[in-house]
Amino acid sequence: MTGWDAEVDVAVVGGGACGVMTALRAARDPGLVVGVFEKSARGGCNAAISSGSLAAGATRWQAAAGIEDSPQRHAEDILRASGDEERRPVVEALCAAAPEIVEWIAGTAYPIELGADMPRAGMTAWRLHTDTGRLGGGRLMRHLRALLDGHDNTAFVDEAPVIDLAAHGSEVAGVVVSQNGSPQRIRAGAVVLAADGFAGNRALVEEHLPQLGTPFYGGVSTSTGDALGWALRMGARLRNMGAALRSGLVVVDHGTRVSPALPFNGAVLVNLDGERFVDEESKGYSSLAGVLRRQPGERAAMIWDATAMAATRESEMMRECLAARAIHDVPAIEDLATALHRTPEEAERALAPLPGRRRLTAPYHLAWVTHGLLATQGGLVIDPSGRVLGTTGEPIPGLYAGGGTACGLAGPHSDGYLSGNGLLSAFGMGWLIGNNLAIEQR
Ligand SMILES: Cc1cc2nc3c(=O)[nH]c(=O)nc-3n(C[C@H](O)[C@H](O)[C@H](O)COP(=O)(O)OP(=O)(O)OC[C@H]3O[C@@H](n4cnc5c(N)ncnc54)[C@H](O)[C@@H]3O)c2cc1C
């Protein structure tokens, strides 16, 4: 076939979590040429604004903390939350890879610790790993990008949005990249779609997620679902398009998020009618978003005390809230009553602890929280090796997908999202695809 402007062995669409991990793993093979085509590093990727928390079961950090866990238990937690048994093979493949990935990242001189202060609903063992210092996903992505720059057989091409796939009959043969406004046809033995989901595309969100209403959008502008249409034209299938990673912890008028660990440290939610409306510990932050959407004014006051503050303030989320002055200090119950437009007695009643929970003590902290959309979770159907499957269930030759471009792990609804699923899908599938390509493309 003629008419190519350049050729690589592996063309990666998107330089975020999935794309960079795919490239890092594939590039270990010095015989492969890997091109990562990134729409806009300035526009950014969700991984870089994420908390960077990595879910993995049976790591040495867990063992050191005396925590029993396994990839199987991790997979069961995800599947219990999602109810999506059809995805079991993919979930199990990702959970099996997860401890190896965390170990590998640590082995590249990246400081990792177990988030022993990061309890999450639905997680039967403490298994979120994070960087010491809690600088979040930005630090991790800068580190991984620097590692990628160290590979001579890899090019990270920025400001180079992929605008289409190039096909040869029913096979994917490369990508069409826009560079300085001019289309370049890049031939590739394999194309990996790692362009994230469509949460930044208002029309697609309205089409697939009308139940979300008009949430605050907390993701990057680059997540516009570009890859979905190209893959559909090649015969790919979509699944679980109504699921999203949401957050019910977005601070009104600020857009920062309070820590998901607050409810586990006694924080309570009170709505504009002065009522407690949920067992705060029972809901993951994605699921909590739906509950908040149904409250008067689509918001509620989250209230906590000094003990809860001390347990959470080192998280990057709380640091951002404090820096943004998104948290109010409330000295006494009378001040809390004023903030809630209630009497002190009503405020006192609203703070009554649920059975078995501790009572908050003054002084308090308060933030008005609402629901937000962070990332979509529906996408292309893939197999456990990341190959994109067509309507017949057969892989589309030459086409892979991972991270937010692929169907996520939450099942059909946002309530099924378990903390850590997003980066697990992205880094995990990048790891599996890159490892396989290092073998297959030779
Ligand atoms: C605020 C926030 C906090 C989060 N916290 C966590 C967390 O702590 N743990 C967790 O597991 N998950 C978390 N997530 C979810 C997680 O960040 C995502 O699931 C994950 O980043 C998806 O990885 P990805 O590689 O698919 O996409 P991204 O990391 O977003 O990377 C996609 C890249 O593709 C590029 N791109 C898009 N279109 C094109 C195109 N046409 N051509 C070329 N390039 C393109 C984009 O510019 C971007 O660089 C969070 C998300 C948000 C928004």
Sequence spans of domains, the chain? 6-243+377-440, 245-373
Yes or no: say if 88 and 20 are a contact pair by the CB < 8 Å rule: no
- Mean pLDDT throughout 110-134? 92
66-77 confidence digits (pLDDT tens): 999 999 999 999
Architecture, CATH, for domain 245-373: Alpha-Beta Complex (3.90)
Atom of ligand 1 nearest to the CA of 48: 29
pLDDT at 33 over 80: yes
Pocket of ligand 1 contains residue 37 by CB under 6 Å: yes
Q: Residue 2: its pLDDT value, please?
A: 66
Residue 261 pLDDT greater than 70, yes or no: yes
Taking the centre of ligand 1 as the mean of its atom positions, its distance from the CA of residue 223, in whole angstroms, is 7
- Does the pLDDT at position 178 exceed 90? yes
Residue 312: strand, helix, or coil: helix
Whether 426 lines ligand 1, by a CB cut-off of 6 Å, is yes
Nearest ligand 1 atom, CA 406: 26
Q: For residue 14, how far is its CA from the centre of ligand 1 (angstroms)?
A: 9
What pLDDT does 119 receive? 83
Query: Residue 283 gets which letter from DSSP?
Result: S
Q: Is the CB of 231 under 6 A from ligand 1?
A: no
pLDDT of amino acid 116: 84
Find the radius of gyration of the CA atoms of the chain.
22
Q: Distance (Å, rounded) from C-alpha 148 to C-alpha 236?
A: 30
Buried b (16+ CB within 10 A) or exposed e, 295-328: beebbbbbbbbeebbebbbebbbbbbbeeeebbe
Q: How many CB atoms lie within 10 A of CB 194?
A: 34
Q: What is the DSSP letter of 332?
A: S
Give the nearest ligand 1 atom to 20 CA: 25
Q: What pLDDT digit, counting tens, does each position of 314-365 carry?
A: 889 999 999 999 999 999 999 999 999 999 999 999 999 999 899 999 999 9
Confidence of residue 390 (pLDDT cuts 50, 70, 90): very high
Percent of the chain with pLDDT over 70: 99
pLDDT(231) > 60 = yes
Probe ligand 1: pick from 40, 45, 49, 432, max atoms within 8 Å of CB?
45
**What token pair was written down for 292?**
């908040």
Q: Are 376 and 243 in contact (CB under 8 A)?
A: yes
Residues written for the chain: 442
pLDDT at 399: 98
* pLDDT bracket for residue 169 (50, 70, 90): very high
> Average pLDDT for residues 400-405, to the nearest whole number?
98
Q: Which CATH number fits domain 6-243+377-440: 1.10.10.350, 3.90.228.20, 3.50.50.60, 1.10.357.10?
A: 3.50.50.60
| Cβ contact 400:19 at 8 Å | no
Find the mean pLDDT for residues 242-268: 96
Cβ of residue 36 lying under 6 Å from some atom of ligand 1:
no
How far does residue 117's CA lie from ligand 1's centre (Å)? 24
Q: Which of 425, 430, 417 is nearest to 248 (CA)?
A: 417
DSSP state of 351: T
Contacts with 397 (C-beta within 8 Å, 6 or more apart), sequence order: 170, 171, 172
Instruction: Give CA–CA dist 298/373, Å, rounded.
Output: 14
Q: Is the pLDDT of residue 1 over 60?
A: no
